[in-house]
Amino acid sequence: MLKKSSRSGKFRVAALLHSDILTSSVTLPLEILTGASQAIGRIGTRSLDIACFSEDGGALPIQSGITLDTLPLSDLVDTDLLIVPAIWRQPQRVLRRESRQVALIAQHIAAGGLTVSVGSGSFLLAETGLMTDRSMTTHWQWFDAFAQRYPSVPLEQRQLITQSDSVFCVSSVNSVADLMVYLCGDIFSPRVARHIESQFSPEIRQRFSPSPLGAPRDLHHDELVADIQIELLRDLREPIRIAELAASSGVSERTLARRFRSATGVSISGYLQQRRLDEAQALLRRTNLSVTEVGSAVGLHDPSHFTRTFRQLTGLTPTAFRTAVRQKGFGVAQLPG
């Protein structure tokens, strides 16, 4: 039976494979997690344990011509995150053949385990019978087949990513990077998630919000500066009070400014401005707040100043940015526990 391991020590990831998976739907999330683990290795202690499992284990030939090394399903006894990759072509065929995988998924979901399915891999989750009245999504090509087979499962056809407690469904490989970056923030830290986003989500950064030379660095070893960053992000609506920050840290304003720039590459005011605009992008992508309300929520209360500053960073007005990225947006709540 699957069980959740402690949040301390290794974070265990298991991927359920069969010969009809879409290979990129498992390699991409695993590579993102690996990158996050390597990043946190420079600023923390948590490590990652990844294993792929199939019915009998051993070298598993995938329909795409790739062969992956796997362990037998009987060895799957402990995991924190279970990944169910997309199915290539007919999901029903896999359902008939992979009943043991369905049983293992059911045990993991019943135990409250973190679960991610990609595309038509959601059929395996729904087949457990545990997703009744719990929102899911799948690849658009299989909307009708899914709705017919699982009429009691709410199918979100307009959402690229859905969440029901600790079960996430991603409609396609194109969206899985967005979800994995979010999960990296919860599994490791928001600092690591931002680092990983810059590596695996270049289409957003380069097209909509380029990160020029001199952009803030969050991965550093200065704990005093890290504490200041936390204070700055506590309420983005608050003005900067450098004198108070320096006094609370036990250093002079000059020393604080020097150490902050040395650690992050930018000034304190420049860092706060960047983080305000990062939050503004998230609000524009994932909420229906007006542009004026978004600006106020991040401490930029003058709409004209907000629009001008936002355009300097992204090359787009807030309204144009929202239009461009809205279809990539998804809303998720904090993971339980």
The closest of 172, 84, 90, 97 to 126, measured between CA atoms, is 84
Q: Can you give the residue ranges of every domain in the chain?
A: 10-195, 211-328
When pLDDT is averaged across residues 229-236 and rounded to a whole number, the result is 85
SS3 content of the chain, % helix, strand, coil (to 5): 50, 15, 35
When pLDDT is averaged across residues 97-104 and rounded to a whole number, the result is 95
Note the pLDDT of residue 189: 77
CA angle 10, 13, 18 (to 5 degrees): 155
Given a cut of 70, is residue 9 above it in pLDDT?
Answer: no
When pLDDT is averaged across residues 266-282 and rounded to a whole number, the result is 90
CATH number of the 211-328 domain: 1.10.10.60
Residue with more model confidence, 173 or 189:
173
Residue with more model confidence, 116 or 199:
116
Instruction: Please state, as a whole number, how many other Cβ atoms lie within 10 Å of the Cβ of residue 195.
Output: 24
Note the pLDDT of residue 91: 93
Given a cut of 90, is residue 28 above it in pLDDT?
Answer: yes
Residue tagged 């290794």 (tokens): 10
> Residues, the chain, total?
337
Report the percent of the chain where pLDDT is more than 90: 52
Got the DSSP string for 144-187? Answer: HHHHHH-TTS-B-TT-SEEEETTEEEESSHHHHHHHHHHHHHHH
Q: What CATH class does 10-195 carry?
A: alpha beta
CB-based contacts of 276, cutoff 8 Å, min separation 6: 236, 298, 299, 300
Bridge partner residues of 48 (DSSP): 11
Confidence bin at 187 (pLDDT 50/70/90) = confident
Note the pLDDT of residue 205: 37
Spatial distance between the Cα atoms of 323 and 151, rounded to a whole number of angstroms:
33
The closest of 72, 75, 78, 77 to 11, measured between CA atoms, is 78
Note the pLDDT of residue 59: 96
Q: Which is it for strands 58-61 and 67-72: parallel, antiparallel or unpaired?
A: antiparallel
Query: What's the whole-model pTM score?
Result: 0.60
How does pLDDT run across 87-96, given as a tens digit for each residue? 988 899 999 9
Spatial distance between the Cα atoms of 318 and 296, rounded to a whole number of angstroms:
13
Note the pLDDT of residue 14: 96
Note the pLDDT of residue 332: 38
How does pLDDT run across 199-214, given as a tens digit for each residue? 665 443 333 233 333 4
